[in-house]
Amino acid sequence: MNETIATAGEGSHSPSFQLRARDPYSRARRGTLMTAHGPVQTPAFMPVGTYGAVKGVAPWELRDLGAELILSNAYHLAMRPGADAIGAMGGLHQFMGWKRAILTDSGGFQVFSLKGMRKVTDEGVLFQSHIDGSRRFFSPEDVVSNQEKLGVDIAMILDECPPAGAPPEDVARALRRTTDWARRSREAHSRADQMQFGIVQGGLDPAMRAQSADELQGIGFDGYAVGGLSVGEGRAETLAVGSYTVNLLPEEKPRYLMGVGTPEELVRFVAAGFDMFDCVMPSRNARNGMAFTSEGRVVIKNAIHRDSLVPLDPMCGCTTCANFSRAYLRHLFLNGEMLSARLLTNHNLYFYVNSMKRLRSAIENGTFRAEAASMGVDLDQIEDEEKRQ
């Protein structure tokens, strides 16, 4: 098949990022990320659609619950059906029927998770396909090319993410390699309608994080992500490293925290100054029968919900809460009905996306601290704890 690169649709916009408001009592920011497929209001949460689909949720349902940006995985899409195939069909937006913005992760984390099936060199990653066992090779340039064929709005570079607890020499080697790959990725990138983000690595070492952030800014990217967290380290370490690293990133560029986390963690990291988030938690937990609500977590299989006619969350505006009781949702889950996962996923994603909407409004109105408290996060207490450390 001939190589085909998707083009942005009519009325596309030049990528840019504009800060619109700041919270005077924290580092929280309110901005607009303009992409080739429309604006993304920040802080923003991205539902995860690894294979070009958010499990159990149709594109129009994602639109209706307020999602403006979703995440897909360039590695998985390149493996099947292939970046060339998707490009020939008009790009990922056309392929999956999603007209708003898409960010693709490079898939580096997934490749490095193929234990015993891959070899990493300075040139790239040689690995065995998890689909058919064939030997494949991805270079930084290959990853850039694949994402340009997909026609996504934001492309993440190939990076090396060391596991939690890796020896310092391994973290240093991964940092050096990530910087080298970042430079090659930037040189290979050619689409003016596609933003490219660098990824800060460095494990739990503040000095290595600072070095990585400095080197990436020297290369110059459209935005910056913090990677290498939620890979097995403790929660306190995640919070400390994330909060430290965000201060190393330029104010005028979007800041993305990869793979984190709980609703409470997102509030804390918005307060720290991050603009973008993704996490599989709302959809994965939904499939396991757990819902996030304004009153805390609800495990729908519990007997207390057997005769409950109230919605998952009386304060929620999602279609699940507007139409179904806890008793019915419990019935669906216990009987293995597919509708259970669909309805709970719709609710959880609405909860996450709407939480970001509430925080954006609070930053604009100067009520961020009070809004955070209403979501169970006491910023005063957190600041006191940080001062004592």
Sign of CA dihedral 186, 188, 189, 190: positive
DSSP 174-199: HHHHHHHHHHHHHHH---TTSEEEEE
Question: Which member of 105, 153, 159, 222 is catalytic?
Answer: 105
Q: Distance between CA 202 and CA 206 in Å, rounded? A: 8
The yes-or-no answer on residue 105 being catalytic is yes
Other CB atoms within 10 A of residue 323 CB:
10
C-alpha of 221 from chain center: 18
Selecting among 23, 222, 278, 313, the annotated active-site residue is: 278
Between the two ends of the chain, the Cα-to-Cα distance in Å is 58
DSSP three-state, residue 35: strand
- Type of residue numbered 365: N
Residue 142 annotated as catalytic: no
Using CA atoms, how far residue 57 sits from 164, 283, 339, in Å, is: 32, 10, 11
Q: Which two tokens stand for residue 224?
A: 């910056």
Give the number of other CB atoms < 10 A from CB of residue 154. Answer: 28
Angle between helices 206-219 and 235-246 (to 10 degrees): 40
The residues annotated as belonging to the active site are 105, 278
